[in-house]
């Protein structure tokens, strides 16, 4: 009886992991939805550079290759109000759906 319960639990865990992995694949955004990916990058920049006083994200661009979107944004930040702006780039590669 304990063996059957163990097998059932293992099968249920397997189904749960399988369904969660398929959910991620079904939730892929369209590769043509550049605004979504730029917003994701801007969030990442703000999370990474949160300690700086000013963050100005501008000039984002992307390249689509084989259902992967390489996206990057240029941004400027200040360490404090007396500093000059420092320039940097942030890039990320996203898996995406080729469906429009």
Task: Please write the tens of the pLDDT for every residue from 5-36.
Answer: 778 787 778 777 766 654 444 578 998 888 99
What range defines the domain where residue 77 resides? 29-95
Count how many domains the chain has: 1
Q: Is residue 55 part of a domain?
A: yes
Distance between start and end Cα atoms, the chain? 51
Q: pLDDT digits over 35-70, tens only?
A: 999 999 999 999 999 899 888 888 899 999 888 999
Taking CA atoms, 39 is separated from 1, 15, 34, 35, in Å, by 53, 33, 9, 6
Distance, in Å, from the CA atom of 56 to the CA atom of 45, rounded to the nearest integer, reads 10
21 contact partners, CB below 8 Å, separation of at least 6: none
Residue 90 lies in a domain: yes
CA separation for the pair 9, 54 (Å, rounded): 51
């Amino acid at each position: 009886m304990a063996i059957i319960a163990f097998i059932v639990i293992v099968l249920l865990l397997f189904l749960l992991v399988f369904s969660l992995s398929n959910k991620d694949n079904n939730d892929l955004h369209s590769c043509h939805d550049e605004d979504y990916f730029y917003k994701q990058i801007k969030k990442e920049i703000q999370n990474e550079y949160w300690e700086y006083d000013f963050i100005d994200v501008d000039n984002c661009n992307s390249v689509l290759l084989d259902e992967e979107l390489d996206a990057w944004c240029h941004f400027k930040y200040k360490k404090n109000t007396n500093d000059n702006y420092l320039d940097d780039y942030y890039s990320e590669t996203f898996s995406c759906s080729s469906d429009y």
